[in-house]
């Protein structure tokens, strides 16, 4: 279950962070 939540949260965070912090994208994708 945690995997599913983490994946969903990661995608959501990635979309939001991608707009504000393109550099942080690498860190988010790594997760």
In the chain, which residue ranges form alpha helices assigned H by DSSP? 2-20, 25-30
Size of the chain, expressed as the number of residues it contains: 31
The reported pLDDT for the residue numbered 31 is 52
How far apart, in whole angstroms, are the C-alpha atoms of residue 14 and residue 28? 6
Q: Which of 28, 30, 5 is nearest to 18 (CA)?
A: 28
Per-domain residue ranges for the chain?
1-31
pLDDT at 18: 54
CB 10 within 8 A of CB 31: yes
What mean pLDDT do residues 2-31 have? 58
pLDDT above 60 (res 16): no
| Token pair in block for residue 13 | 């965070």
């Amino acid at each position: 279950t945690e995997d599913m939540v983490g994946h969903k949260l990661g995608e959501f965070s990635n979309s939001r962070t991608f707009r504000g912090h393109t550099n942080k994208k690498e860190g988010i994708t790594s997760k």
